Amino acid sequence: MGKYTLIVTEKPDAAHRIASALDEKGKGKKREDNGVPYYVARRGKEIVVVPSLGHLYTVAEERKGRNYYPVFNFRWVPRYAVERKAKQIRTWIETISKLAGDADMFIDACDYDIEGSVIGYCILKYACGDKEGVSKRMKFSTLTKEELEKSYAELLPHLDFALIEAGSIRHEVDWLYGVNLSRALTISARNWSGKYATLSTGRVQGPTLKFIVTREKDIRSFVPTPYWEVKAEVEIDELVFEAEYEKENIEKKTEAAAILNACKGKNGQVVKIDIRKFQQKPPIPFDLGTLQSEAYGLFGYTPRRTLTIAQHLYLEALISYPRTSSQKLPVEIGYRTILKKLGKVPKYKKFTKELLAKPELKPREGKKKDPAHPAIYPTGKLPESNLDAAERKILDLTVRRFLAVFGEPATKQSMKVKINVDKHHFYLRGRQTLKKGWLRFYKPYVRSEEVLLPLIEEKQTIEVRRVILENKFTKAPPRYNPGSLLKKMEETGIGTKATRANIMQTLYDRKYVRDERIVVTDLGFEILGVLERYCPAVVSLKMTSELEERMDKVQTKREKRDNVLVDAVKILKPVMEELKEKEKTIGEQLSNAIKRAKLEERIVGACPVCGTGKLMILHSRKTGKRFIGCTNYFKGKCKTSFPLPQKGSVRPFERNCRGCGWPTVQVHIKGKRAWRLCFNPECPLKKERRKRIEMRNM
């Protein structure tokens, strides 16, 4: 090869698509050097497209070693220099440096966002030998051939250095907070107990944990108070409906009983009918947060899983870039072209035909903008390979959302019927869709309930079949789940669209929280307790969001990177001094919490045999095999034990068996779906299952 253009991308799939899109014959040739793939295309001149593996460079301290803190001096280094599992990064960097040697033009084609900009900049600066100043930039939001060709034809003259600075400062500040605070916690616990356990916190992780702990404290301190509800079961045209009493919650039983007695055995009369028509506007386009929230609500996918799926669909050129905060769909994406392509799929054909018949296509948009990318939308391209069930769902959801934003408003009608029963008023409520509008496009994912009432007139006598009195108790606030926690992080402005899901996962990985309905462990309580006691600034929502805002301003050149860095260190220095001074006390607290956390991980539930012991996951000293046993065995009071699968991970499950009420465990073998195990041999569900199997085998 003679002199060529070198294009740097973020991932191998993207490199392949770019090379194929730019090649004159539409097929980039794959080559390898030392196991590192790259692609060669010809477009008048030879083009070499080489992928990264995400971040090849990271922030690290100047002085080697991990057994000290505080740390304030840092530099950017190859990841293999500081991460044990990143050895292959060395080969990757060496190959890119080798390819850069014969290049006479450089192009950054990494994802056009904060992370992608930092990845491309570091490669061009460190691996390619200070080529960041002469490199051009490709900007695209989909990996379709058309957009990649356009992006190459309209290269930006230089890198977006404001975006790079915003990304660099974010990495540096997060590293300073993360490495200092995490080391302080980990070293304190290790020095006290002599045992190593990874503990971590950070600029965003601390406040996120605080949200969950605050909610957990509210739940645990909540005292239910009784109240009463009165309802009337009424019959109209041989149909039975439930009417609610005018006062939703009645605090005194005597008052509720008096209403019941007054209304018992009496019919009602319709005194007022209030009918209202209103329009329900189409939804707004997906940004990453709303896609993650919708996928969690509909399919139960965690935000992290949804992002992974969306990223794969993007690399397959099926949807636009998912890490966006935009709720705008610019005209330039070509609404009609996308709809025509989607129309080739039978299940979308009638919807696209209807939309294409409109004289003008105008989407309903949200307020949020993203300077780098539009909202998430389908490219209209058909899958080249088989998608799994989860990928098909997210793609279908994205397509239907795109169709829905161009739809007409839905017309709905609400009906409120006021019924007088012995001077007490009850209400019947009806809901009906008169014109479906956009709801037809989004139908599988519309969550609304219709209540159709028969024809009712004022002064009509209504038969009251019975009056019901229900004793209820006020409920504690609900626990966060991954969807609601993501929303809370977005609302309070902490973390970024790309990092929030990973921060949540870290809380699970560190054993600070557990379960889908998020419960704080003893260790999580203790970590937050230490942070609040000795360094409250670190978990301050105000401080975190202010710092977040200032880092955003670096991108728009309204704030200087160095000023943000200096102020971040100013906040951190006194915090680290306090942690150092109280290291022994903190170490003792954390060590005890780690012990309790390890025990908590193994407690399955109350022993249903003796009633006083706890069932635990134990290991036999003789065989090494794990089993479930009662803690009263060690006291000589209970010999209850049950076998467990020996493969995969086993952990207590939050819900008891619906068949027998016994505690259950979750078993997860790598590569397979996790399943719930009831270990009660006499469980009615197991007996039913055995019967069905016997019937099939007869």
Q: pLDDT tens-digit profile of 292-331?
A: 999 999 999 999 999 999 999 999 999 999 999 999 999 9
pLDDT of residue 268: 94
What is each CA distance from 312 to 288, 387, 388, 391, in whole angstroms? 14, 10, 11, 8
Nearest to 634 by CA among 607, 663, 662, 595: 607
Domains of the chain: 4-159 (3.40.50.140), 167-220+478-595 (1.10.460.10), 226-273+410-434+446-467 (2.70.20.10), 288-404 (1.10.290.10), 602-697 (no CATH)
pLDDT of residue 272: 95
How many residues are given for the chain? 698
Nearest to 331 by CA among 358, 365, 380, 367: 365
Return d(Cα 26, Cα 319) in angstroms, integer. 21
Return d(Cα 288, Cα 291) in angstroms, integer. 5
Return d(Cα 633, Cα 433) in angstroms, integer. 62
pLDDT of residue 416: 96
pLDDT of residue 1: 59
Half-sphere exposure of 387 (CA within 13 A, CB side): 20
Segment 83-108 shows an average pLDDT of 94
Segment 633-640 shows an average pLDDT of 85
Structure tokens at 36: 């590192």
* Residue-wise pLDDT tens digits, 654-687: 788 888 888 888 888 877 777 888 888 888 888 7
Torsion angle, alpha carbons of 300, 304, 310, 312, to 10: -120
Flag whether the pTM goes above 0.75.
yes
Segment 158-166 shows an average pLDDT of 94
pLDDT-above-90 percentage for the chain: 69
Residues that are catalytic:
321
Instruction: Report helix, strand or coil for 241.
Output: strand
pLDDT of residue 85: 86
Rg of the chain over all Cα atoms, to the nearest angstrom? 31
Is the pLDDT reported for residue 693 higher than 80?
Answer: no
What is the average pLDDT score of the chain? 91
pLDDT of residue 651: 83
Half-sphere exposure of 303 (CA within 13 A, CB side): 27
pLDDT of residue 123: 98
Is the pLDDT reported for residue 554 higher than 80?
Answer: yes
pLDDT of residue 673: 75
- Confidence band (pLDDT; 50, 70, 90) for 267? very high
pLDDT of residue 598: 81
Is the pLDDT reported for residue 698 higher than 70?
Answer: no
pLDDT-above-70 percentage for the chain: 99
Half-sphere exposure of 481 (CA within 13 A, CB side): 12
* Residue-wise pLDDT tens digits, 9-22: 999 999 999 999 99
DSSP state of 451: B
CB 5 within 8 A of CB 107: yes
Segment 228-232 shows an average pLDDT of 95
- Confidence band (pLDDT; 50, 70, 90) for 120? very high
DSSP readout, 343-354? TTSHHHHHHHHH
Q: Which residue has the higher pLDDT, 447 or 461?
A: 461
Instruction: Report helix, strand or coil for 643.
Output: strand
